[in-house]
Amino acid sequence: MRGAEEIAEMMQGYRDNPPATINGSPVVQLLDYQTQVGKNLQSGNVWDIELPKSNVLQFILEDGSKISARPSGTEPKIKFYFSVKTKLESPEKFEETEKQLDDKIKAIISDMKLT
């Protein structure tokens, strides 16, 4: 099954060569739950992750965004999860702020060429 091989290659590629930036924000940390190692990509400092092993990578961006990649255990596909944040200036600006965050997720997807 070639799909599973492609996913394994994609995950290994992210492990070996994590992106320097995503959507213009520097990637400051790479958390690898498979190897149970976290790494600050700017300083080179590493630390142990004390959670169960799982084939998950998480990119922490300077702007506070988090992108997690996890291969499906039952299908030949990889799932990406996005966490973006910003300050809500006031309740009246909720819809405007929500649109900004949605646009940010779309830009991340485009930058990572996930479509």
Return the pLDDT at 1.
53
Alpha-carbon distances of 11 from 40, 83, 84, 94, 100, rounded to whole Å: 18, 19, 22, 36, 29
Domains of the chain, residue spans:
2-85
Give me the CATH code for the 2-85 domain, please: 3.30.310
For the chain, state the CA radius of gyration: 16
Best CA proximity match to 66, nearest among 83, 80, 47, 53: 83
Point out the residues of the chain with pLDDT beneath 70. 1
pLDDT in tens, 4-35: 888 889 999 999 999 999 999 999 999 999 99
Contact 78, 72 (CB under 8 A): yes
